[in-house]
Amino acid sequence: MKNSRFFGILSFFYIVVCAVSLFAQSRLPAQRGAVSSDKKNRPVHIDGKELPPSLYINPSPEALPAGYRSIVLGMDFEAVKDALKKDGLFGYRGERDVSLLPGENRVLIETSSTGYLARCWFQFYENKLYTIIINFNPEKIDFYSVLTELLKKYGEPASLSPETVYWQNADISLNLERPVSLKYMDMHVFNALADKSSVEESAAEILRSHILDAL
């Protein structure tokens, strides 16, 4: 009789332990999901200010811009010069702001202003604009303000850190860097130049190898 009672109590405790264990396992995925969701929605802090999640998880972001103001990637050299002449914000001074870069078919326009924009660069390849770099005057426009506006318009970036933020698609790369620099790049031209550089380096290595083999 005592043995039967003992085994009955033991069986009861075993059932209770199993039930508690099953309940805990059923709760675990939900808890893990809650932690993951909390991390995803955790605000990002830039310059000590909080960016709410609603800013960088934009449900309907605009397409990435192809340029700034009237200057657009793909414009030819003369068209860019005319646009800069008409827009006093850049401080374009004419031909003295134009330089030839090392390498074939590369031209650079560098402008400078004391207003909202500081130095700006416009780089061409085969007479087409493929890189725009806009440097804002940090005393008049701060990094946080530019970042907030970009997040509102273009949604979640490909990468976000306190120093650099960038958005990218198959056509355009848009980079924001400190102190307050915005860079637009034509990805088709960039990739073509990168491929060309790789081919040239490979050819140089082959030539070097042949010269050494002849020793």
Where in the chain are the domains?
61-194
pLDDT per position as a tens digit, 99-116: 888 766 789 999 998 899
**Phi and psi torsions of 177, nearest 5°:** -130, 155
Q: How confident is the model at residue 87 (pLDDT cuts 50, 70, 90)?
A: very high
74 close to 128: Cβ distance less than 8 angstroms: yes
pLDDT digits (tens, 9 = 90+) for 202-214: 445 544 554 455 4
Q: How many Å apart are CA 45 and CA 10, to the nearest integer?
A: 55
> Strand, helix or coil at 174?
strand
Band the pLDDT of 62: cuts 50, 70, 90: confident
CA distances from 11 to 5, 14, 15, 16, 100 (A): 10, 5, 6, 9, 89
Contact between 184 and 66 (Cβ < 8 Å): yes
Buried b (16+ CB within 10 A) or exposed e, 76-107: ebebbbebbeebeebbbeeeebbeeeeeeeeb
pLDDT tier for residue 82 given thresholds of 50, 70 and 90: very high
More confident residue, 139 or 59: 139
> How does DSSP classify residue 76?
B
Burial of 9 (0-12, 13-18, 19+ CB in 10 A): exposed
CA 109 to chain centroid, in Å, comes to: 24
Q: CA nearest 161: which of 172, 147, 150?
A: 147
Report pLDDT for 161: 83
- Taking residues 127-156, report their average pLDDT: 92
Contacts of 69 (CB under 8 A, 6+ apart): 87, 89
Ranges of H-type helices in the chain = 2-40, 53-56, 77-86, 143-154, 187-213
Average pLDDT over the chain, rounded to an integer: 76
Residue 28 has pLDDT above 60, yes or no: no
- pLDDT confidence of residue 7: 47
CA–CA distances in Å: residue 20 to residues 7, 8, 13, 26, 158: 20, 19, 11, 10, 44
